[in-house]
Structure formats: structure tokens, C-alpha cells
Amino acid sequence: MTNNSKSDEWKEIKINARKQRTRYGISSSGRVCSFREKITECKVLKGTMVNGYPALKIKVGTTDHQFYIHKLVAEYFVQKAEKIRRL
């Protein structure tokens, strides 16, 4: 399955793991996918629920990583407000 939606923007999720063959992406609408080389040829994942929130659980080697989907969308797609100087 590929991510055919033209309205979605996809970005790769950065995971601090050296021996990771499978890579993961997040879309601007909150969908997650796995891919090896091209993010345009990825498989959309279902994810899981943790404490009532959609989440992505990934095991890299012996380390487990858990990401909340809404936090990933905010991190990769929401513009951060400029810092205001305090006088």
C-alpha cells in the first residue's frame, strides 16, 4: 500500500538508532507508516492506543520506543511561535 493522499505531507520520524532498517513516517493528518527507502512507497500502520491516545510503538534492537501520534504531528508540522523578547 502506498500513501496516495495528495493532501497529506509526509515527514520521516527521527529515531536515534543506528541499526534500524525500517524507517517510519508521520503525515500531516496523523497517519503513520513504515518504509525502507522511499517514504512515498510506505505501508500505513494502524498503531495502538495508550491511555486513550493513539500511539506508535517501535522496537529497535532491545530498546522499545513509544510515540504519541498527536505529539509527533505537533513536533513535525506545527510552527513554533517566535520567542518574545522580555525587556
Residue 14 is assigned to a structural domain of this protein: yes
Cα gap 55→48, rounded to integer Å: 5
pTM, 2 dp: 0.79
59 falls in which pLDDT band (50, 70, 90)? confident
What percent of the chain is modeled with pLDDT above 90?
55
**CATH number assigned to the domain comprising residue 72:** 3.90.75.20
Q: Which pLDDT does position 51 carry in this prediction?
A: 94
Residue 83 is assigned to a structural domain of this protein: no
Residue 35 is assigned to a structural domain of this protein: yes
Residue 25 is assigned to a structural domain of this protein: yes
CB < 8 Å & 24+ apart, contacts of 80-86: none
Q: What is the mean pLDDT of the chain?
A: 84
Residue 84 is assigned to a structural domain of this protein: no
Model confidence at 52: pLDDT above 90: yes
Residue 45 is assigned to a structural domain of this protein: yes
Structural domains counted in the chain: 1
Cα gap 28→7, rounded to integer Å: 9
Residue 53 is assigned to a structural domain of this protein: yes
Q: Which residues constitute the domain of residue 29? A: 10-77
CB 44 within 8 A of CB 26: no
Q: Which pLDDT does position 3 carry in this prediction?
A: 52
